[in-house]
């Protein structure tokens, strides 16, 4: 990228961020459902590795690879920085974090895919949802609400990342529309998201527990008043909304409406009271609360809870970021549906004498489904027509709407005839669905014809529909933008070859198809042909190569891609794009669900038309000499009109899938019961707090304060560390490598034996582990003394990895090969803390510390010896697990590289030497760290 312009891939990044949000949300839901939510299998306090492999868990593990692959896709984040030349974002923290996360995912997925880490995994996934949501919003930039009108709604130019929730919330609000962002409370993320979290916790956990031994509350009159209130408020809002938008005299275009940014008197009055209607929509959540208080737990289904949650989040999102424009029609339809629903709920509370007349209850779900279809189609128009509405918001809206559509369709299929005795048209027992796209795709494929459903890739919905989406996005959005400032590609010979190839393949397919069906000797009835399900040898041979012809039909899409690359945009009409899209979907549908029978004649006619069309396209590429003879071109359209394959309906069923992560029981029984020090709920929050304090909150807190005078505390600390490390070293060497010890210096496995001297060591080892964690205080003292130049990347990363390694080896490999490395490292720490103690006495003593530079040499030699010694079990079988070697050597090599870099920069001519104290660093590094922290 040194001599190249940054790539303009902002839309690709938006899609990546939206994809990561959706996949992470799916994963978090499935993980929690299977582990810690009511009905899950995990103990929140302490969970071991069970080794179970029942049918439910087998389904989970079958598709777990998809979520692992999605986590590996985190690396694209850095790749995008490179392609956009955002090199300042590619910090040590960023790269090391992504690297270690990938290695950890590989390690735990392979060796410990269940157990105690599940809680940490859930937290981490939740954090990733927040992060990628932030990244998605931040990519919208100052043009988030810009329309083609001269009157524009302005937002903040840049959203700087912060770990302060109040600052982050304020920045989010400031990105919003000026007409709504000052609403009291209802658009503040610190109100909305805690409200949603509290709602989920109450209706799924706290509420059912609280009501367990209580009688249902008699609040029927309150529920009736609530339903009437919701009907009245929704009706008023619908009238005001339509009056301003689509009714005669309104200002909206029904086809495509952008964001105008108008702020005249009429709109000001409308927005003035908008916060009230937003608050009322949040009151939808009370519907579920009433179900809990009345102990109607069968009505609190996944569909019910997810629907209310997404509606609340969507109301917040659109109110803050897109309070006008294309979503207005969907909002109106949704409000109308809510009026009907709440009116039904009110009538249903009046008892059996009224319920028997509510025969129209089942149509509520149908109405919801129709609503979602209309909303998705209508809000997608700005993807193809530029009317000033941001496409990024369309993508976000459709992802959530499609999720709800799938769930409502599944509910309608699974429970179409529920008795009219319930207020909510849902049942936990009858609603079976999946949020896992791989399981959903597998369920659809399993419904297909046995003769075609095993085709490689071409009939998998996870291939076909992303292919169609990428095609639409490229030919209508990304492709034209990319070609805007480029010359057309000279690919005429490629196009000719493509057309000839399509002619030949279509002709071969047509011949084989007709031979099997309608030619003399064929087996089809020209008048009416059903699906026979035959699998004789001739048919098996025919279906054997069917996937190839399907793949070639998908290659039809290249026709439009060539138009983009040649800048023939006038040929990329709505007809052209819709036709290719529908053909691709139809090929997938009929090949999977109806690969024989009545559609065969339409398929043959369509193949013949394609032979003629591609032959015409080939001739047309030969230039004006040939084109003058193509007088029959207009008859191609006539032929197309004559040939349209029939459409059939398809019923989908959705399967269940669960995701499970287990860890704990592979830990060593000699150390896993240590108090606190090996508990990941203690160690990793401690590391996170350490990093946050020394890199963010500590420097901020000390910014306007004088340095603390704690030199005596530091001296006591250094002496204590010398003493504890010395005792630890002696106790470690006695049962291992000193005469009488039981360890082999060359290669030592994990025996699991419990000699008496080892038991004494393990009995007190947790104390030494705790003291090693106290290494982190070293950096804390730097912060308190405002020695920020010493808080380098090397220093912080080293301390962090040491703590993680101590936890890892203490829990999983507290014996065996690492013992020599631990002994070496402990000795080095004794020497280091001795130096630090002496250096604290000032210039009088420092002049005798000529051996200071050899500390770094000692560290480097230590790491080389450790890597070499730890690698022995890779070549010699002595009972030490090789995966632990890989984990150890990866991190040790990283630290070695950092120390070598420091040595070169400090003590050689490689760069400017450092002379800044006991733990030397460069001023430039310190400034870079501060700048990177600010950018992060």
| Residue 540: partners with Cβ closer than 8 Å, 6 or more residues away | 451
Nearest of 469, 493, 629 to residue 566 by alpha carbon: 493
Tokens of 322: 């897109």
Tokens of 44: 């929140």
- Count of CA atoms in the C-beta half-sphere (13 A) of 360: 8
How far is the C-alpha of 93 from the C-alpha of 89, rounded, in Å? 10
Instruction: Give pairs for 640-649: CB < 8 Å, separation 24+.
Output: 640/609, 642/605, 643/602, 643/605, 643/606, 643/609, 644/602, 645/586, 645/590, 645/599, 645/602, 645/603, 645/606, 646/598, 646/599, 646/602, 647/586, 648/589, 648/593, 648/594
Tokens of 293: 């208080």
Mapped to the 3 state alphabet, what secondary structure does 265-298 carry? HHHHHHHHCHHHHHHHHHHHHHHHHHHHHCCCHH
Nearest of 617, 643, 631, 626 to residue 510 by alpha carbon: 643
| Residue 280: partners with Cβ closer than 8 Å, 6 or more residues away | 230, 233, 234, 237
* DSSP string covering 471-498: HHHIIIIIHHHHHTTSPPP--HHHHHHH
Strand partners, 662: 114
307: annotated active-site residue: yes
Counting beta carbons within 10 angstroms of the beta carbon of residue 14, is it exposed (0 to 12), middle (13 to 18) or buried (19 or more)? Answer: buried
How far is the C-alpha of 352 from the C-alpha of 358, rounded, in Å? 10
Q: Between vectors from CA 699 to CA 697 and to CA 700, what angle results, nearest 5°? A: 60
Say what angle helices 574-593 and 461-473 make with each other, to 10 degrees. 180
Nearest of 286, 69, 323, 33 to residue 178 by alpha carbon: 323
How far is the C-alpha of 755 from the C-alpha of 670, rounded, in Å? 12
How far is the C-alpha of 617 from the C-alpha of 615, rounded, in Å? 5
Hunting for tokens 């009370």 — which residue is that?
286
Q: Are 747 and 817 in contact (CB under 8 A)?
A: yes
Q: Are 789 and 860 in contact (CB under 8 A)?
A: no
Tokens of 870: 């730890």
Q: Are 266 and 244 in contact (CB under 8 A)?
A: yes
Helices (H), 115-188: 117-138, 165-174
Q: Are 437 and 26 in contact (CB under 8 A)?
A: yes
* Catalytic residue selected from 304, 307, 308, 869: 307
How many of the other CB atoms lie within 10 Å of CB of 353? 7
Q: How many residues does the chain have?
A: 936
| Residue 918: partners with Cβ closer than 8 Å, 6 or more residues away | 790, 835, 836, 839, 852
Nearest of 836, 837, 808, 835 to residue 822 by alpha carbon: 808
How far is the C-alpha of 366 from the C-alpha of 55, rounded, in Å? 34
Q: Are 230 and 341 in contact (CB under 8 A)?
A: no
Strand extents, DSSP E, 176-221: none
How far is the C-alpha of 609 from the C-alpha of 606, rounded, in Å? 5
Counting beta carbons within 10 angstroms of the beta carbon of residue 69, is it exposed (0 to 12), middle (13 to 18) or buried (19 or more)? Answer: exposed
Give the residue numbers marked as catalytic.
Answer: 307
């Amino acid at each position: 990228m040194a001599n190249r312009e940054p790539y303009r891939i902002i839309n690709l990044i938006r899609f990546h961020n939206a994809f990561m949000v959706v996949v992470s949300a799916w994963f978090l839901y499935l993980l929690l459902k299977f582990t810690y939510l009511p009905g899950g299998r995990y103990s929140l306090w302490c969970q071991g590795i069970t080794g179970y492999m029942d049918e439910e868990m087998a389904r989970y593990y079958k598709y777990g690879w998809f979520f692992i692959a999605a986590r590996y896709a985190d690396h694209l984040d850095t790749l995008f920085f490179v392609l956009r030349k955002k090199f300042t974002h590619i910090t040590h923290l960023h790269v090391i974090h992504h690297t270690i996360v990938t290695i950890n995912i590989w390690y735990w997925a392979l060796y410990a895919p269940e157990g105690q880490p599940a809680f940490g995994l859930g937290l981490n996934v939740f954090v990733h949802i927040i992060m990628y949501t932030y990244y998605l919003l931040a990519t919208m930039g100052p043009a988030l609400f810009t329309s083609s009108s001269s009157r524009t709604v302005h937002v903040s130019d840049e959203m700087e990342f912060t770990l302060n929730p109040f600052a982050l919330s304020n920045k989010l609000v400031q990105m919003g529309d000026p007409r709504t962002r000052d609403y009291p409370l209802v658009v503040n993320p610190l109100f909305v998201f805690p409200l949603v979290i509290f709602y989920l916790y109450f209706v799924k956990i706290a509420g059912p527990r609280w009501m367990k031994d209580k009688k249902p509350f008699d609040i029927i009159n309150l529920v009736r008043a609530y339903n009437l209130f919701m009907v009245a408020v929704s009706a008023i809002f619908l009238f005001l909304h339509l009056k301003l938008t689509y009714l005669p005299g309104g200002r909206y275009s029904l086809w495509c409406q952008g964001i105008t940014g108008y702020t005249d008197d009429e709109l000001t009055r409308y927005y003035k009271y908008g916060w009230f209607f937003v608050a009322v929509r949040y009151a939808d959540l009370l519907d579920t609360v009433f179900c809990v208080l009345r102990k109607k737990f069968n009505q609190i289904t996944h569909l019910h809870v997810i629907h209310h949650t997404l509606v609340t989040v969507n109301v917040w999102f659109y109110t803050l970021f897109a309070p006008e424009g294309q979503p207005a029609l969907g909002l109106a339809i949704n409000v109308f549906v809510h009026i009907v629903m709440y009116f039904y709920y009110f009538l249903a509370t009046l008892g059996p004498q009224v319920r028997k007349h509510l025969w129209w209850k089942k149509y509520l779900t149908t109405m919801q489904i129709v609503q979602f279809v209309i909303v998705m189609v209508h809000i997608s128009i700005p993807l193809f027509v530029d009317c000033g509405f941001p496409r990024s918001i369309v993508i976000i809206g459709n992802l959530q709407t499609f999720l709800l559509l799938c769930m409502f369709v599944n509910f309608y299929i699974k429970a179409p005839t529920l008795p009219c005795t319930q207020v909510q048209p849902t049942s936990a027992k009858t609603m079976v669905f999946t949020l896992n796209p791989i399981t959903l795709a597998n369920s659809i494929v399993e419904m297909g014809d046995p003769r075609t459903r095993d085709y490689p890739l071409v009939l998998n919905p996870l291939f076909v529909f992303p292919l169609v989406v990428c095609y639409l996005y490229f030919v209508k959005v990304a492709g034209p933008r990319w070609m805007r400032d480029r010359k057309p590609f000279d690919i005429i010979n490629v196009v000719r070859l493509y057309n000839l190839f399509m002619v030949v393949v279509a002709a071969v397919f047509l011949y084989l198809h007709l031979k099997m069906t309608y030619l003399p000797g064929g087996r089809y009835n020209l008048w009416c042909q059903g699906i026979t399900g035959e699998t004789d040898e001739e048919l098996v041979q025919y279906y054997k190569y069917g996937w190839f012809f399907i793949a070639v039909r998908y290659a039809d899409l290249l026709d439009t891609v060539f138009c983009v690359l040649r800048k023939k945009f006038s040929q990329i009409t709505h007809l052209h794009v819709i036709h290719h899209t529908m053909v691709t979907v139809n090929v997938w549908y009929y090949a999977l669900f109806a690969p024989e029978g009545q559609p065969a004649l339409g398929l043959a006619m369509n193949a013949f038309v394609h032979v003629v069309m591609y032959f015409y396209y080939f001739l047309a590429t030969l230039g004006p000499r040939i084109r003058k003879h193509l007088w029959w071109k207009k008859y191609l359209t006539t032929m197309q009109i004559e040939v349209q394959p029939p459409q059939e309906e398809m019923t989908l069923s959705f399967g269940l899938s669960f995701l499970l992560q287990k860890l704990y029981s592979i830990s060593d029984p000699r150390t896993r019961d240590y108090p606190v020090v090996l508990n990941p709920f203690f160690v990793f929050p401690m590391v996170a707090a350490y990093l946050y304090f020394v890199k963010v909150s500590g420097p901020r807190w000390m910014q306007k304060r004088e340095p603390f005078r704690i030199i005596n505390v530091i001296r006591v600390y250094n002496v204590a560390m010398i003493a504890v490390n010395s005792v630890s070293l002696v106790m470690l060497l006695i049962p291992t490598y000193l005469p009488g010890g039981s360890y082999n210096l060359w290669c030592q496995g994990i025996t699991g034996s419990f000699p008496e001297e080892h038991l004494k060591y393990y009995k007190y080892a947790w104390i030494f582990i705790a003291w090693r964690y106290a290494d982190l205080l070293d950096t804390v003292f730097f912060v308190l003394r405002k020695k920020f130049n010493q808080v380098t990347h090397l220093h912080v990363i080293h301390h962090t990895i040491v703590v993680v390694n101590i936890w890892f080896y203490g829990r999983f490999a507290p014996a065996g090969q690492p013992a020599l490395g631990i002994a070496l490292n402990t000795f080095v720490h004794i020497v280091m803390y001795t130096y630090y103690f002496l250096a604290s006495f000032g210039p009088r003593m420092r002049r005798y510390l000529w051996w200071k530079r050899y500390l770094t040499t000692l560290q480097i030699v230590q790491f080389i010896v450790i890597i070499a010694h730890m690698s022995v079990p890779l070549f010699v079988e002595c009972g030490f697990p090789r995966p632990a070697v890989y984990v150890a050597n990866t991190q040790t090599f990283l630290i070695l590289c950092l120390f070598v870099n420091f040595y070169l920069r400090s003590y050689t001519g490689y760069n400017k030497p450092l002379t800044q104290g006991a733990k030397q660093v460069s001023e430039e590094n310190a400034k870079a760290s501060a700048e990177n922290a600010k950018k992060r």
